[in-house]
Amino acid sequence: MVENLSTLKKTEHENIIKNNFKVIKSPSMINTCTSLDMAIETTNQYIAEMNKTERKKYGQFFTGKETAKYMAGLFDLEKPTIAKKSKLTILDPGAGTGILSIALIVRLEGYENIKSIELICYETDEKILSTLKKNLELTKERSMIEINYKIITENYITSQSDDFNYNILGNKNSLKYDLIIGNPPYMKIGKNEPEALAMPEVCYGTPNLYFLFATMSLFNLKADSEMVYIIPRSWTSGAYFKSFRKYLLKYGVLTNIHLFTSRNKVFDGEDILQETIIIKVKKSIEKPENITISSSNSSKDFKDITKLNVPYKLAINSEELYVYLVTTKAEVEILEALNKWNDTLPSLGLRMKTGLTVDFRNKECLRNETEEGAIPLFYSQHIQNGKVIFPIDKDEEYILTSKKGLLQLNKNYLFVKRFTSKEEKRRLQCGIYLASDYKEYKMISTHNKVNFIDKNDSPMSKELVYGLYVIFNSTVYDIYYRILNGSTQVNSTEINNMPVPSIKTIEKMGMKLLESKNLSEENCNSILEEYYGH
C-alpha cells in the first residue's frame, strides 16, 4: 500500500520488549515505552526553542504523554476486523512530533497477532519535520513490530480534495486506513482559503481547520474502522458547524466522548481558551444503543475519570444535529424530562433575537445623556437581579438615530445576556423588560451583547414575559444550555431549538411568579417543578 518503505531489522531488545507488553484492554493498562518518553522529551525541546507566536501560526498544540496514551487506549483492537489482521495501516493527519502515532504503536505492541504497521504521517511545518523523523526512527529501531512509515509534506486537505469530492459522486478507490489518530491544528481560516474551498460540503461561514481534518479523516477510514481525535468542543452545536455535524453523523457514529472539566490542564504549558474533548468515531451507519461519555479534571494521569453510558438517541439529536455532552445521571434526567415537551419558542410564535446596535459601528448616534429624540440603548449592564434598570449613569446609554435597523418597538421583552464569564454561576442571565415602565418612549434599541425574546405578531402579555423568566432563570434550563453549549456565549439559534412548555403553561408559571413577587432562582425552580417533566 505504501511505496518505498524501509524494512525493519529486529533488534536485540525484541525479546525484552515483547515480555514487557501484555494485551491491553483499556487506556489505563497501556505500558510506558522508552520511545514514547523520548518523543515527549524531543517535543519539549522543540516547544522550548519555538515561541508560542510562531507555533500559533500553524495552530500547534502538542498532546501530552498521558493524553496520548489515553487516546491510543480507546481503540477497540479486539473486534474481528482488527484481531484477525497481522498488518495494520495507520494515519496521523497532523503528526507534529509523532506523539500520537508512537503512543498507538506502543499499545499495538501488546498484541501478538500484529506483525507489521504501515504508518502515514502528514506534516507541513518544515521546522518540525526533523523532530518527527527522529522520533519515528527511534520508535522503529526499538519496536518488536515491523514499522514502515512515510512522512507526507503535502497539505492534508487540499492534496485529497479531489478524492473527497469525487467520493460524493460515487468514487470509492481512494486510500483507506484501519486506524486514524489525530490532534489537528486549531485555527480559523478564511472562507476563500484553499482548504475551505476544497471541502464545500462541510463549510459554512468562517471554518476552522480542526473540523476539516476530522471530516477528511472520517472519509479516509475503512468501513467499521475507528478514529480518535482531540478537538475543541465548539463543533457540538452552532450554525457554523452544522454541515460538519451532518457529515459526521451521516457517515459515522460517536462511540466515546471524553471531557476535561479544566480547560487549562489539557495541553501542558499552553493557554487554551476553548474547551477540548476527545472523541472516538466509528465509520458506520448503525447507531449504537449507548454512547460512553467520560470526564476528568486533569490530563496528567486520568485517575479521576468518571464514565456514564448515555442512550445514543438522547445524547445525539439527529434531527437538530446537536450533541449533548451529559456527564451525570442528573443531567440525563434533565434531558429526558425536558424532551417530553414538544414545543420550541418559534413553534409558539416566539423567538430569541440578537440585540440590534453594534456600538463601535454607530458611534455618531450614541449619547451619554438624554436629549430630544434620543431613546434608551439597553446594554447587558442594565440587566440586574431579574429586572431591567434604566438609566444607570452609563456612558452612551442613549441613541439618537433614524436607522430602522437599530430601532424596535417599546413593548414587553425578556432580555438575556449574550455573554457571561466562565467563572459565573449561571450561563443564562435574564431580566424582565416591561414597556409600561418606559411609557415616554415609542421605540427603544438593544446592544449587540443582549439577546431578547419577542413575539412575532403581537406584544407579549405580562404573564408570558414572567413565565419565560421562570424558565430561563431556572437551574434546570441553565444546566440544559451548558450541556448543549460549552461556550460563554448564549446563542439565539440554540435557545430557539430548546424544548419549552405550551403558551398556557408558561403563562400559568408567570402568574405564580407575579403573585409571589420573588424573582430568585430558587423560586423559579419551585414554580417550574410543578410542571417539569409532565
Return the closest-CA partner of residue 255 out of 221, 217, 294. Answer: 294
Contact predicate 95/123, CB 8 Å = yes
Query: From the CB of residue 520, how many other CB atoms can be counted at a distance below 10 Å?
Result: 12
> d(Cα 417, Cα 71) in Å, to the nearest integer?
37
Whether residue 70 is predicted with pLDDT greater than 90 in this model: the reply is: yes
Per-residue pLDDT at 32 exceeds 50: no
Domain boundaries, the chain: 14-327, 346-529
Domain 346-529 grouped into CATH 3.90.220.10: yes
Instruction: Give the pTM.
Output: 0.85
Residue 450, φ and ψ in degrees, nearest 5: -120, 135
Question: Which has the higher per-residue pLDDT, 188 or 51?
Answer: 188
Tell me how far apart the alpha carbons of residues 29 and 456 are, in angstroms, rounded to a whole number: 58
> Which CATH number does 14-327 carry?
3.40.50.150
Q: What is the percent of the chain with per-residue pLDDT over 70, rounded to a whole number?
A: 87
Residues with Cβ within 8 Å of 411's Cβ and at least 6 positions away in sequence, in order, are 435, 454, 459, 460
Model confidence at 83: pLDDT above 50: yes
* Average pLDDT value over all residues in the chain: 88
How confident is the model over 450-476, as a mean pLDDT? Answer: 96
Distance CA 400, CA 88 (A): 68
pLDDT, tens only, 105-114? 999 998 999 9
Query: Average pLDDT, stretch 326-347?
Result: 94
pLDDT of residue 275: 84
Using DSSP's 3-state secondary structure scheme, residue 51 falls into coil
At residue 300, the pLDDT reads 65
Question: Which segments within 425-476 are labelled E, that is strand?
Answer: 430-433, 443-446, 450-455
- How far is 386 from 340, CA to CA, in rounded Å? 27
Report the SS3 class of residue 409. strand
pLDDT in tens, 494-512: 999 999 999 999 999 999 9
Q: Can you tell me the distance from the alpha carbon of 358 to that of 446, in angstroms, rounded to the nearest whole number?
A: 9
Q: For 446-458, what is each residue's pLDDT tens digit?
A: 999 999 999 988 8
Task: Indicate if 346-529 has the same CATH topology as 14-327.
Answer: no
Q: Which amino acid is at 455?
A: K
**CA gyration radius, the chain:** 27
Query: Which DSSP string corresponds to 124-155?
Result: --HHHHHHHHHHHHHHHHH-SSEEEEEEE-S-
- Per-state percent for the chain, helix, strand, coil, to nearest 5: 35, 20, 40
pLDDT above 90 covers a percentage of the chain that reads: 72
Q: What is the reported pLDDT for 518?
A: 98
pLDDT of residue 28: 39
Stretch 87-102: mean pLDDT: 96
pLDDT tier, 51 (very low <50, low <70, confident <90, very high otherwise): low
341-374 confidence digits (pLDDT tens): 999 999 999 999 999 999 999 999 999 999 999 9
- Binned at pLDDT 50, 70 and 90, residue 1 comes out as very low
Asked if residue 76 has pLDDT above 80, the reply is: yes
Please say whether the beta carbons of 123 and 46 come within 8 A. no
How far is 410 from 441, CA to CA, in rounded Å?
7
Distances (CA, A) of 119 to 78, 207, 216: 20, 28, 17
Per-residue DSSP letter, 44 = H
